[in-house]
Amino acid sequence: IEIKMAGQDPGSVHLPRCSVLNVTVLKGRNLLAKDPNGKSDPYCILTIDGIGTEFQTKICPATLEPEWDQTFKFFVAPPAGVALGHDEEALIGGYLKVDVWDHDTFNAEDFLGRTLIPLSLLSEEVTEGWFPLGRGSPKEERMGEIKLKLHFSFKQDKIVKVSPPSSPNVSIISEDCSLSSDELKMNSRKDQATKINAELYNMTKKLTFHLQINTGSGVAEIPGPMEKAELIISDAIIQVGSAKCIAQVILTNYRLIILAQRGRKNWLRYEDTQDLTTYVPLNAIKSVEKNTDDKLIQRVSPQGAKNSDVVSIIIHCFDVRQIKLIFIHGTRSLLPQGVSGRDQFYAAKHTTKRDVFEGLIDEDSDGESDFIILSMTSSKSIPKKATDIDNTDKEDVTPNGQTSEAHDGHVTEKPSSFQKKAFSASDLEGYNERSLEENYEVADSTHVNPRRTVNDPLSFSSRKKVPSEKKDLELAMAYLKVRYLERATDALYNTRVNKVLLKPGSKGSKHTSVHQKLASALYLRLDHHLVNLDFEAPAWHFSKDNPNVQLLGWDLYNYANEMRRAGIHDSWQLSAINGPSYNLCSTYPALLYFPALLSEDSVKASADFRSKGRLPVVVWQKKRGNFMLRSAQPLTGTNYKRSSHDEELMRCALQTAPPDTECVIFDARSFIAAGGNRFKGKGTENPQNYSTSSNLCRLVYLDIPNIHVVRESMDKLCDVCLSGENDKWLSLVESTGWLNYISLILKGSSLVTRYMDQRHCCTLIHCSDGWDRTSQLCALAQLMMDPFYRTINGFIILIEKDWISFGHKFQHRLGHPAHPNERSPIFFQFLDCVYQILVQHENEFEFNSKLLLRIADHLNSGWFGTFMCNSEKERNDYALMANTASLWSHIQAATDEFVNPSYQPDSKQEVIYVEHSIRRLRLWQEYFLRYDDTLLLTLQGVEVEDAVEQIDASKVSSLSCTKDVVVWASDNKTTECKGCRQKFNILRRKHHCRACGQIFCNDCSKHRIQLPQFGHDGEVRVCDECLPKLSDSTDD
């Protein structure tokens, strides 16, 4: 290619090197059977997002153990340096997606699974192993693995040899290069990833984004230095509540990190007043949405604005946080760091079509009128429109952009003559890429091969001032030049530009920017993780990356030792009847205490009479001898069946207590709910069957709602907290019912405490299956009666005993993707109850509310194995103690953070009682309102009144909104008014506020005001929240 560059010194310029991803699909195993014969016909489809190339393996008929052994090559852009937290960063990322399908001739093909592999985690070293196949949706079954072999290699080195301007011939050559060891090291993807991850660790360490944990060799960090970046996107807009700022988004194998970029000039002319730097653990993401129909209005002059398409990703978190990431249509800051001016031309492979145009701007200019002009010739005076192209023409475009004719099965190039020609901007309208390329064909007498020398009669002229009316044409010419280079190196980069080329900025212009592609990759990764988070928890990474670290915190609790500490009598016997196989009850611990007088046959028969085999077992005993049992409901049914063995277990247990001790059975359900379970073959006890002449028995219903009611209440409360609504705040909180349900649990726990402490009764507590409300009541009652459980270590042991050991279904309750209806914040509700007790009796607790908050944050983080799986049996099967870190190792390492300075360990108040009236309860603001706008006001130093009614929402908006940018919310995704939270219908119509972009009803957006800065003529609609702010700014 003959080139003349003004002002370029003699020498050579290296074009971007190409990386080749070599993927060998070896075989699969344990695949799902989708055919009637119990087999499948599996094949694989391999893609990399943004490249546009798709490969398919052969079909292996009638097998669940296919063997493909096929190799495919993807040509991707080379790695580039990344400067985290700076203005101009390179973008890294992308994922290899391997989908396995079952081939069907006549029916729709069945999906067998997907594996998603980050390219940033691959290098020149060969990675070979089995990759689990994940679900495509939560309803699909997950099964099978696929064995892959992957590694990167360099294809070729492209060298541009440049001569002085006086020289008539300047050439670009394309040749094979054998890289030296120093060059390989300098261009190594592994070294690049190591540098990026090292910088990531140093940055997050300064931000204190790592947690310390105790290990056998000292203190370690999680995630620590082994955290790996998968995707980095710069210049995204982050929105939390009404606060917004420019940020860099970093996706790692542990979390999503958001780095707010403050105090700098940026291409949005954005007012960065909020520091929203934060992170979200991957497993703490509740759901993710992707919007492609949002709009952005940006002020470009005092009286003008322009519209841009944006892609937004809305992340809903379990910690009552909603984060919106907004990715703008193509920006110049997408180019790799250090690449500017003419170098941007050679960085075309990293950019989109528009970025290539902008890359041709003179680096010394103001970005308005200086361009590199191409001198091009054509045999045709006016290009044909796309509609005029004769599809029957026998001429085809070869990969190098030349026309060709077929002769005897061989393709020969057909040279074209060229004339210098210029057109006005209007000439470009209506012409697409194909018409331009067909009419500006590149002439060459030599076949273009990426591995051979290329000659091209095209040449650059000196830089000139271009009239604005010709700018679009010159951009099109520049595009043809770049497109020719792409064609000449098509085998290297495997790129395919197939979008319609219209005048930049004209209506209908379409192309996918780098931001939009990476936003799609981010959404793909998060969505895949959400439906497979039960098998892809980051907790598994830590032990694999740190094999020599001794994991501590798993031996704090021992059932036998804890029962002896509580003063269990010799009349109780430790039994291993449940044993290592958990045959008696799969959700109970291996060791259990039973009355010494009870036979093993009675124990087994009693388990058969209780739901899920959860028979009555002692969990705590007072010094006086009265005890607390827990179980599941009995299987009485509509016939009121009885079990002599179950009754014998209760009689033997009562014999261990003082004479004439009364027994109270607490059923956490309502009378109606318990009666309804009888029709399912279950029910509740008849207290007369369990009474004796010396031990009376009574039954008490506690009316605590089930998991579905609690889930709905929590979801409503989160919506209220995220709404930012100030009017009728207390009414909205009350309408969720959350505090009412907290009151019922505290009332039931207090009742258990009073019966055991004041009346010295024995108690049996159960709900339906004995792992939700039963755990709440037992743990809270013990917390009130035993001061040991109000210490840090004692509270840990209480959770281990009554929640983890006795089979609370953490995996399902915390949001297992395959069991969405079983999700319910039961354990979090327990933490909220503890918070209420702590507030009322602060001096009685060694720990403060920060401990409760830290535990709540890591319920769903997936960083620790403490709350994984549903039972002790499952934890042993997965070897959690050997393969994951314990949350308690972190609590012990950071104990100083959780110590309550008001604690009085010498207090003589052994038993505490809680005021359970809803008047005495308060919303746990440290959790529910952590990301509330009123808190952001306080952080910005704004005077905040104590009364919620006196907080002006317009002040919040004035601090956190942009001056020059408005993002319009999506019509299709919005179902209720942003102001009054009422649902839209045929009478309650949707209206955009022109100032903030949110959607309101007519009542909440009835004001009109002039906004010429956003290109609006006359008065336009604004919402009630924006009106005071705009009025103030107008007055100023």
Indicate which residues carry an active-site annotation.
Answer: 767
Alpha-carbon distance 937 to 273, whole Å?
11
- Sign, CA dihedral 586-587-593-595, equals negative
The answer to whether 508 touches 502, Cβ cutoff 8 Å, is yes
Contact in structure between 693 and 642 (CB atoms under 8 Å):
no
Backbone angles phi, psi at 826, to 5 degrees: -70, -50
277's tokens: 């730097």
Residue 498 tokens read as 């197939």
Which amino acid does the sequence have at 336?
Answer: P
Q: What strands, in cross-sheet order, belong to the sheet with 396-397?
A: 396-397, 403-407, 410-414
In contact, 979 and 991? CB cutoff 8 Å: no
Radius of gyration of the chain (CA): 34
Which secondary-structure segment (H or E) carries 328?
A: strand 321-328
Residue 223: asked if its preceding bond is cis (omega within 30°), the reply is: yes
* Rounded Cα–Cα distance for residues 97 and 1018 (Å): 51
Residue 81, C-beta contacts closer than 8 angstroms, at least 6 positions apart: 90, 192, 195, 336, 337, 338
The count of other CB atoms within 10 Å of the CB of residue 341 is: 14
- Write the DSSP string, 692-713: -SS--EEEEE-----HHHHHHH
| Cα–Cα dist 749/742, whole Å | 11
Cite the DSSP H helix spans in 49-180.
none
* Residues 649, 640: Cα–Cα separation, whole Å: 18
DSSP state of 77: P
Question: β-strands 211-215, 370-371: how paired?
Answer: unpaired
Q: Which amino acid is at 419?
A: Q
**Residue 689 to residue 685: CA distance in whole angstroms:** 8
Q: Do 825 and 710 form a contact (C-beta atoms < 8 A)?
A: yes
Q: If you write DSSP's letter for every residue of 218-283 in order, what string do you get?
A: EEEEESGGG--EEEEEEEEEEEETTEEEEEEEEEESSEEEEEE--SS--TT---------EEEEGG
- Residues written for the chain: 1036
Determine the residue type at 292: T
C-alpha–C-alpha distance, residues 704 and 871, integer Å: 24
Q: Within 13 Å, how many C-alpha atoms sit on residue 451's CB side?
A: 4
**258: β partners:** 249, 278
Beta bridge partners of 76: 19
Tokens read off for 105: 């001739």
- Report how far residue 249's alpha carbon sits from residue 253's, in angstroms, rounded to the nearest whole number: 13
- Residue 656 CB burial class (10 angstroms; 0-12, 13-18, ≥19): buried
Do 609 and 634 form a contact (C-beta atoms < 8 A)?
yes
Contact between 325 and 967 under an 8 Å Cβ cutoff? The reply is no
What is the maximal distance between C-alpha atoms in the chain? 117
Write out the E strands in 755-898: 762-766
Cα distance between residue 589 and residue 808, in whole Å: 11
* Euclidean distance between the first and the last CA atom of the chain, given in angstroms as a whole number: 60
